[in-house]
Structure 1
Amino acid sequence: MSTASDSTPTIKLALVGAGMFGGDVHLRAYADLQRFGIAGQLARVGLDEHSRDLAPVKFDLVAVATRSEGSAKKSAAAFKSITGHEPKCYHGEAPWDDILRDFPDLDVMAVATPDHLHTQPILSALAAGVHVLTEKPMCLTTQESDEIIEAAKEKNLIVGVDMHKRYDPDHLRIRDDIQNRIGAPLYGTAYLEEPLEVSTSTFKWVESSDPFSYVGPHWTDLIYSYYKSKPVSLTAVGQKKRLVRDGINAYDAVQVRVDFDNGMSINFHNNWITPADFEGPVNQGHEIVGADGKVESDQQYRGFRWWNANGGSRTSNNHFTRDVLRNDGTKAYIGYGVDSLTVALVAICRVKFAGATRDEVAHLYPTAEEARITCAIVDAAAKVRDLNWKYMQEGKGATVTARFADDGITIIDPNSPKVFDTIYGKPL
């Protein structure tokens, strides 16, 4: 195993992508690991039984990589300002290759690149025998998800997916308690609406994605984590009205309805055009109606609100991430945004230091196999959405759907001579 000395068990990490999420959540989470290890985080996620075993483990962020040299240096400097340790900088179109070359004993590659650029660094890391911790969605197609899963299985490697909605304390209460009270699920709605700056300035790749592919996976995974039910069909539509005014050929909003094999139907609504003067960072929530009741969960407004002169009225989600002031003036970084990184790293530690297999630790974290469900939904929804967009412009209505069955994923298009088009031939 990698060691800082002959007696210190060490996990060496590299971070690829340091934008909005990589440069904030990942970087700060790894800074706390660098300084204090992982044991102090484990009670938050119900894994404190491993605290004594993992207390001696050292974490070392050895590299940060971004597309541009400037952003890599900025991230490395930020990390050094917290920890006193400066990771090596890499930049370019495929900087992960350089990292894997320079650090043959690397343990974990964290992937926080744009959504459509996840697959290659993941597969490169797995080929080199390196565990992966990736942002959602793991990838954008079902084919790519299967390639990732097979590569990980072949070498007994972990691919943890950051599905942090699972670890929101309100969602844990729904999963472990409320869903049993409301009875068999009938229908529901989940929404996450991002600010306009995300699609117009923060990200330069919005034309390669859409708001559902970007943030919808949080909710599709959350619903799966509640019920462990697979999709059987979906339909999807999208709109292009606001972003085109700025010369951006991307969807403003996308709505996807997914029907599951337990009989429930869930509507997922996402946009990234919320005006800047909205009182919260994002607007988000979900509700589920059951045969014996209903649960409503508003993740935007949780009862915490303030206003001040020239600042307007604001709300804050203090559960996602928050600073905890230490006596020495530094700040610990905790919240459910960190928790889903923690659980995957516990699984990786169990494989590396305790000789566990992937199957033995699969219950600890959101796995690639579970992420495959979301990847399939994203894959099918994108194809249905584009066809329905085309037909809506032609005045034919949004009549295209997708079916998930034992023969794979089939697009059903009444406007096509073929009608039934199987886009992937393996069952979920």
Structure 2
Amino acid sequence: MKKIKTAVVGVGIFGEEHAAVYAEDERVELAIVCDLNEKRAKEIGKKYNCSWTTKTGDIATNKEIEIVSIATPDFVHRDAAIEMASSGKHIIVEKPLATTVQDAEAIISAAKKAKVKLMVDFHNRWNPPFVRAKEEIEKGNIGKPLMLSGKMSDRIEVATKWFKWSGKSGPHWFLFPHLIDLICWLTGEKVLDVYAIGKKEVLKKAGIDTYDLVQAMLKLENCFATVETSWILPSTWPSLIEFNLSVHGTEGRIDIDLTDQGLRISGKNVYNMPFISGKMEIYDRTHGFVPMPIKHFIGCVLKNKEPLVKPEEALLNVRIIEAITKSLQKGEVSFVKT
């Protein structure tokens, strides 16, 4: 069987995840990677035995390439996504789809016009505890969801060391997409309005003008939710993340906590709880829920099926976080267009 050729635009930390999946999956061939940083593009190209470039046009004009991952910084998804969709490529975009509703709508419009598949990588829909939680809710085992509460935070080095563009994003744009997608997916409900409060202090003193922490209350159609996020977990926090979600129902409750992955390492001058469930190399094969949506998207293209994550769901996710941003700025309830 002829292999589908793939490409990745933006090969930072998450872009490399996509490259690794394509390089390993026997159904496809990783043809080329692209990054504005020539050194990085060359490094990843060499590591995964593929071509590399600093120009997105080299991918867009290559008629043999059918699937492209967009893993550029969140706020510049639009141009690359539209360019690839307009050239007939199926695109999988790292969350969020964009950081403005206008950009998200433009990407969806381009994909529809070109009749290509578009999916946003909400990989926690493949995360086993959340998959099981959804099954339990759909079976009615906790009754009707009434209230949800969740936290998703990162250690401070994510904002200060991982990305040079942290000041153009924030924990609300970087982490809330996961929590909010899970809340909408688990309940099957739309968010109607939001109220949010945040604080800028620690990161601002470090020269990064974005929120340290954000807390938001979401009113859904038949329930409500509270979500919290932080980009300033101390460097001594034993896990890279703090991640938990509770669902309170009329007849029961579900609690998920992924902060502790079941592995604790106490060594010389270190106490660590590694994040191992997302992706891990085991006997030369990649395992975990992070690669699964990428593999799912490959299957959708091969079998001409619609991806599990719909473009409209990704757009609503952006609408909700944009509403949270407006609430942060104005200090009042912000309504979500549904």
Aligned residue in 2 for 1:423: none
| Conserved? CA contact 1:321–1:334, under 8 Å | yes
Q: How does 1:21-420 map to 2 (within 5 A)?
A: 21-23=14-16, 25-33=17-25, 37=26, 58-79=27-48, 86-91=49-54, 95-101=55-61, 103-178=62-137, 180-261=140-221, 263-311=222-270, 313-325=271-283, 331-351=284-304, 361-362=305-306, 364-388=307-331, 400-404=332-336, 409=337
* Superposed displacement of residue 146, structure 1: 2.2
* Superposed displacement of residue 256, structure 1: 1.8
Q: Which whole-Å deviations, capped at 9, do the CAs of 1:258-292 have from their partners, x for residues lacking one? A: 1111x211111111111222111211111111111
Q: Tell me the matched-pair count.
A: 337
Q: Which whole-Å deviations, capped at 9, do the CAs of 1:74-130 have from their partners, x for residues lacking one? A: 111221xxxxxx222112xxx2123212x1232011011111011111111111111
* Superposed displacement of residue 30, structure 1: 1.5
Aligned residue in 2 for 1:41: none
Aligned residue in 2 for 1:54: none
* Superposed displacement of residue 151, structure 1: 2.1
Q: Which whole-Å deviations, capped at 9, do the CAs of 1:125-150 have from their partners, x for residues lacking one? A: 11111100110001122222222222
Distance in structure 2 (CA, Å) of the matches to 1:348 and 1:239: 43
Identity %: 26
Letter in 2 for 1:183: G
- Taking only aligned residues, the RMSD between alpha carbons, in angstroms, comes to 1.5
Letter in 1 for 2:9: V
SS of structure 1 residue aligned to 2:13: coil
Letter in 2 for 1:108: I
| Conserved? CA contact 2:137–2:186, under 8 Å | no
SS of structure 2 residue aligned to 1:199: helix
Q: Which whole-Å deviations, capped at 9, do the CAs of 1:221-262 have from their partners, x for residues lacking one? A: 11222122111111112101111221221111111211111x
Unaligned runs of 5+ in 1: 1-7, 38-57, 80-85, 326-330, 352-360, 389-399, 410-427
Structure number with larger C-alpha Rg: 1
Distance in structure 2 (CA, Å) of the matches to 1:282 and 1:378: 20
Letter in 1 for 2:51: K
Distance in structure 1 (CA, Å) of the matches to 2:73 and 2:6: 19
| Conserved? CA contact 2:8–2:71, under 8 Å | yes
TM-score, structure 1 normalization: 0.76
| Conserved? CA contact 1:300–1:316, under 8 Å | no
Distance in structure 2 (CA, Å) of the matches to 1:14 and 1:382: 33
Letter in 1 for 2:293: S
Letter in 1 for 2:318: C
TM-score, structure 2 normalization: 0.95
* Superposed displacement of residue 178, structure 1: 4.6
Q: Which whole-Å deviations, capped at 9, do the CAs of 1:288-315 have from their partners, x for residues lacking one? A: 111111111001114322312222x221
Q: Which whole-Å deviations, capped at 9, do the CAs of 1:368-422 have from their partners, x for residues lacking one? A: 121111011112111221222xxxxxxxxxxx11123xxxx4xxxxxxxxxxxxx
Distance in structure 1 (CA, Å) of the matches to 2:77 and 2:301: 19
Distance in structure 1 (CA, Å) of the matches to 2:316 and 2:274: 31
| Conserved? CA contact 1:238–1:255, under 8 Å | yes
Distance in structure 2 (CA, Å) of the matches to 1:253 and 1:97: 38
- Runs of at least 4 residues of structure 1 off by over 6 A? none
Question: Does 2:7 correspond to 1:14?
Answer: yes
| Conserved? CA contact 2:147–2:247, under 8 Å | yes
Distance in structure 2 (CA, Å) of the matches to 1:281 and 1:9: 40
| Conserved? CA contact 2:179–2:227, under 8 Å | yes
Letter in 1 for 2:20: R
| Conserved? CA contact 2:152–2:244, under 8 Å | yes
